[in-house]
Structure 1
Amino acid sequence: MTTLPEDPSPRISEDDRDTTVQRLQEAYAEGHISHEEMDEHLHQALTAKTHAELVWAVASLPAEKPGTTSTIGAAGGRIQRRGAWRVPRTLKVESAYGRVHLDLSRALIEHPVVDIELQLGTGRARITVPRDAIVDIEGLRTGWKDPRYKPRRPSRPGGPRIRISGAMEFGRLKIRHARR
């Protein structure tokens, strides 16, 4: 006979845990939290069993300033953000070749509108948005293949608006809504 867990949230992966630990270490290095706070939050992140517990570990970190732009770049290889990470108001992703995977389904999105600017040469890009997100790809220029995206009716009002712009030369972009 099996018993159900107390928290019905899905279990977390090691990548989710690593992303949370990295965010806490960055906050400590930038002076946003004390050594004691970092220890407490690291303990929470390292012993978390659900995504809700991971989100709690980073929820008390200072919010980024409105209008803040973050840039993720790589000449090649893989760019990946997933799990409990804080999404900036504007995110620039630059890659000459390689794969890009942005998973916003469990991320902390504090802004009603998030702009993602892609500057990609070749390779694939995949963006997973929250279930209730509204996606706008009008500002995206593609040189080879059109993005694969099937708009979804928001299941509940008030979801974030994700605006994707920029340029993709020979890559392929796939956007999907999270199932949960």
Structure 2
Amino acid sequence: MTALPQDPPPPVSEDDRETAVRRLQEAYAQGHISHEEMDEHLHQVLTAKTHSDLAPALASLPAEKPDTTSTIAAAGGRIQRRGAWRVPRSLKVESAFGRVHLDLSQAVIEHPVVDIELQLGTGRARITVPRDAIVDIEDLHTGWKDTRYKPRRVSRPDGPTIRISGAMGYGRLRIRHAWR
């Protein structure tokens, strides 16, 4: 009996590689690994072609904390965040009636990708993103009005990616990039 050929293992994605580098940096900053171990593990991560090549570099690190979703909710009224506030990796915004204004232009964004889930009944929503942010609204469903968003013509690849998903009933979402 002949064995069927197996599919080659999937290659390491850039997201997987970035996550591994971030975990190594955190472990080094917290004193879990030495400078020499950090250099050695970084080399393994950056040259890994498959997940089995990546695993040994991460095996001795502390377990990664699962991402948690922060929720901002209001039945009615206004939800507003602006200034220097810390943006979580995953944010859920729920409002039955009212307005939502999220200003990320001066916010502390520690993650390369931020997921914002909108669950809005009626009312407007406005999101101001950093000037160099990349915005993805593919998974957002609107019921009554379309989303107003013009992507920047020139975007730098080093900005955060803001993924906006969820559902809006009656109202409009307006997304704009900050001027500075």
Q: Same fold (TM over 0.5)?
A: yes
Partner AA of 1:160 in structure 2:
P
Percent identity, please: 86
Aligned 8 A contact 1:134 1:154 in 2 = no
Report if the CA contact (8 A) 2:140-2:164 is conserved: yes
In 1: Cα distance, 2:153 partner to 2:112 partner: 17
CA 1:68–1:162 in 2, change beyond 3 Å: closer, same or farther?
A: same
Alignment of 1:144-163 (within 5 A): 144-163=144-163
Structure-1 separation of matches of 2:122 and 2:69: 24
2:112 aligns to what? 112
Partner Cα distance (1:93, 1:152) in 2: 25
SS at match of 1:169: strand
Structure 1: which amino acid aligns with 2:113?
A: V
TM-fit CA distance, 1:171? 1.1
After the TM superposition, list the runs of 4 or more consecutive aligned residues in structure 1 that deviate by more than 2 angstroms: 153-157
Secondary structure at the aligned position of 1:121 is classed as: strand
Q: What residue number does 1:76 align with? A: 76
TM-score normalised per structure 1: 0.63
Unpaired segments of 5 or more residues in structure 1?
A: 1-64
The DSSP-based 3-state class of the residue aligned with 1:72 is strand
Q: Given residue 70 of structure 2, which amino acid in structure 1 is its aligned partner?
A: S
The match for 1:100 is 100
| Counterpart contact for 2:134–2:155, Cα < 8 Å | no
Deviations 1:65-103 (A, max 9, x none): 661210000000000000000000000000001000000
Gaps of 5+ in 2: 1-64
Distance change in 2, residues 1:176/1:66 (3 Å): farther
User: What residue in structure 2 maps to residue 131 of structure 1?
Assistant: 131
The CA distance in 2 between the partners of 1:161 and 1:154, in whole Å, is 15
Q: Deviations over 1:122-161 (max 9, x none)?
A: 0000000000000000000000001000011344331000
Please state whether the residue corresponding to 2:138 is helix, strand or coil.
Answer: strand
How many residues are matched?
A: 116
TM-score between both structures, scaled by the size of structure 2: 0.63
- Rounded to whole Å, the distance in 2 between the matches of 1:172 and 1:81 is 18
